[in-house]
Structure 1
Amino acid sequence: MNAPVSPAETLRTALATLLDGLPPKRAAQAVERLIAHYRGVTPTDAPILRDRADVAAYAAYRMPATYEAVRAALGAFADAVPDWAPGSHVDVGGGTGAAIWAVSATWPGGRGVTVLDWAEPALALGREIAAANPALAQAGWRRTRIGKDLALDDTDLVTVSYVLNELTEADRAALVDAAASAARAVVIVEAGTPGGYARVIEARDRLIAAGFHVAAPCPHSAACPIVPGEDWCHFSARVSRSSLHRQVKGGSLAYEDEKFSYVAATRLPVAPAASRVVRRPQLRKGQVLLELCERDEELRRSTVTKRHGDLYKAARDADWGDAWPPYAEES
Structure 2
Amino acid sequence: MNDPLRTALAELLDGLPPTEVAAAVDRLIANYRGATPTDAPILRNRADVAAYAAYRMPATFAAVRSALAAFADALPDFTPGSHVDVGGGTGAATWAVSATWDGTRPVTVLDWAEPALDLGRQIAAAHPPLADARWQRARIGSGLALESTDLVTVSYVLNELTEADRTALADAAAAAAQCVVIVEAGTPAGYNRVIEARDRLVRAGFRVAAPCPHSAACPIVPGQDWCHFSARVGRSSLHRQIKGGSLAYEDEKFSYVAATRLPAEPAPARVVRRPQIRKGQVLLDLCEADERLSRTTVTKRHGDLYKAARDADWGDAWPPHDSLS
Whether TM-score is above 0.5 comes out as: yes
Q: 1:114 — aligned with what? A: 108
Amino acid at match of 1:125: L
2:22 touches 2:243 (CA, 8 Å); kept in 1? no
Q: 2:42 — aligned with what? A: 48
Could you say what secondary structure the match of 2:295 adopts?
strand
2:36 touches 2:159 (CA, 8 Å); kept in 1? no
Q: Which segments of 5 or more consecutive residues in structure 1 lack a partner in the other structure?
A: 1-6
2:272 touches 2:314 (CA, 8 Å); kept in 1? yes
Amino acid at match of 1:275: A
Amino acid at match of 2:46: R
Rounded Cα–Cα distance in structure 2 between residues aligned with 1:266 and 1:143: 26
Rounded Cα–Cα distance in structure 2 between residues aligned with 1:171 and 1:244: 36
2:55 touches 2:243 (CA, 8 Å); kept in 1? no
Q: Which of 201, 210, 213 does residue 204 from structure 2 map onto?
A: 210
Rounded Cα–Cα distance in structure 2 between residues aligned with 1:293 and 1:29: 41
Rounded Cα–Cα distance in structure 1 between residues aligned with 2:65 and 2:9: 17
Corresponding pairs, count = 325
Q: Are residues 1:226 and 2:220 paired?
A: yes
Scaled by the length of structure 2, the TM-score of the pair is 0.98
Q: Which of 186, 193, 203 does residue 199 from structure 1 map onto?
A: 193
Q: CA deviation at 1:243?
A: 2.3
Scaled by the length of structure 1, the TM-score of the pair is 0.96
Q: Which of 12, 16, 34 does residue 18 from structure 1 map onto?
A: 12
Q: CA deviation at 1:45?
A: 4.0
Rounded Cα–Cα distance in structure 2 between residues aligned with 1:206 and 1:298: 21
Amino acid at match of 1:199: R
Q: 1:70 — aligned with what? A: 64
Rounded Cα–Cα distance in structure 2 between residues aligned with 1:134 and 1:189: 25
Q: Which of 314, 317, 324 does residue 323 from structure 1 map onto?
A: 317
Q: 2:257 — aligned with what? A: 263
1:49 touches 1:121 (CA, 8 Å); kept in 2? yes
Q: 1:27 — aligned with what? A: 21
Q: 1:241 — aligned with what? A: 235
Identity of aligned residues (%): 81
Q: How does 1:255-294 map to 2 (within 5 A)?
A: 255-294=249-288
1:45 touches 1:118 (CA, 8 Å); kept in 2? no
Q: Which of 93, 99, 106 does residue 105 from structure 1 map onto?
A: 99
Q: Which runs of structure 1 show a deviation greater than 6 angstroms over 4 or more consecutive aligned residues? A: none
2:84 touches 2:152 (CA, 8 Å); kept in 1? yes
Amino acid at match of 2:204: A
1:61 touches 1:244 (CA, 8 Å); kept in 2? no
Q: CA deviation at 1:61?
A: 1.6
Q: Which segments of 5 or more consecutive residues in structure 2 lack a partner in the other structure?
A: none
1:32 touches 1:248 (CA, 8 Å); kept in 2? no
Amino acid at match of 1:314: A
Compute the RMSD of aligned alpha carbons: 1.1
Q: 2:179 — aligned with what? A: 185
